[in-house]
Amino acid sequence: MACNPPKYDDLGKDAKDLLNKNFYFGSVKLDGKTKASNGLEFNLNGMHNSDTGKVNASLETKYKYSDYGITFSEKWNTDNVLTTEITIEDQLAKGLKFTFDTSFEPNTGKKAAKIKSAFKNEYTHSTADFDFDFAGPTIHGSTVFGYKGVLAGYQASYDTAGSKLIANNISLAYKGGDVVIHSAVDDATRFSGSIHQKVNSKLDACALLKWSSESSSNSSLTLGTKYQIDKDTSCKVKVNNNLQVGLSYVQSLRPGVQLTFAGLINAKSLDQPGHKLGMGINLEA
């Protein structure tokens, strides 16, 4: 039975999204998206870090030539990095995608280039990326096979300059009904496992466990839940083994306007500083 597997990095995405999205701790985030009548898309992202006072922002333009399967995008950020990306999809073969990605830093003159490829069908999703460097390219590859809800993936990276393997990861997952189970081993030293369940139409719950054989201090357990109050309102709560409690409240004020409030509480030291607040604004037109 076909299951249309995701790419390797998206295995366990259900749990990761629940625990990571909409938690803007110690920052104010603005996301804006609009589309012109000719199909040109504009994406504006900005974030202010209240701890460092630093502001990071980026502006991206994207245009899709649907008849030819080509997407052209350009991006500039406040670190003064210019990025150009051209994607060709489903032209040479159905499910095959090529991406040509270049970046340029005017201040330093540094240049970088990447070629990315992906192929997917009902049973597999494979990728092969090449990062070009003067010393020698780095090759990244991954593949995921899926059948009847069972997913098995492998990911590796090879540094041609140093002639060594710099990443060697395996992953297993199972998706059945309302439950997604995921486990992974990275470089035979870092282990992770997660479970996500859609309890009902309004309630989601998950758990994420991470453990490292190199250092016990890197081990963690995080529990999270999301409750959909109504079609315009949702809230999230997560807590880890260090008794750090994360809260998130998302409210859609009107179509295209979404407001998020988030907070991080150190339950071990309620009377001490270190608690963080954050806010996010999402605009789409």
pLDDT, one tens digit per residue, over 6-64 is 999 999 999 999 999 999 999 999 999 999 988 899 999 999 998 888 999 999 999 99
Helix, coil or strand: residue 243: coil
Both structure tokens of 149: 């809800």
Using DSSP bridges, classify how beta strands 82-89 and 233-240 pair: parallel, antiparallel or unpaired.
unpaired
Would you tell me how many other CB atoms lie within 10 Å of the CB of residue 135? 9
DSSP state of 265: E
What's the CA gap between 137 and 86, in Å, rounded?
20
Fold designation for 8-284: Porin (2.40.160)
- Beta-carbon contacts of residue 131 (< 8 Å; ≥ 6 apart): 112, 114, 137, 138, 139, 140
Cβ count near 120 (within 10 Å): 18
CB atoms within 10 A of CB 180: 22
Q: Tell me the CA distances in angstroms from 268 to 135, 212, 222, 237, one per residue in order.
A: 48, 24, 16, 17
Grade residue 222 by pLDDT with cuts at 50, 70 and 90: very high
* Pairwise CA distance, residues 157 & 135, whole Å: 16
Distances (CA, A) of 151 to 100, 177, 259: 28, 14, 36
Q: Give the gyration radius of the chain's Cα atoms.
A: 21
Check: pTM over 0.85? Answer yes or no: yes
pLDDT digits (tens, 9 = 90+) for 223-262: 999 999 999 999 999 999 999 999 999 999 999 999 999 9
Confidence band of 135 (pLDDT split at 50, 70, 90): low
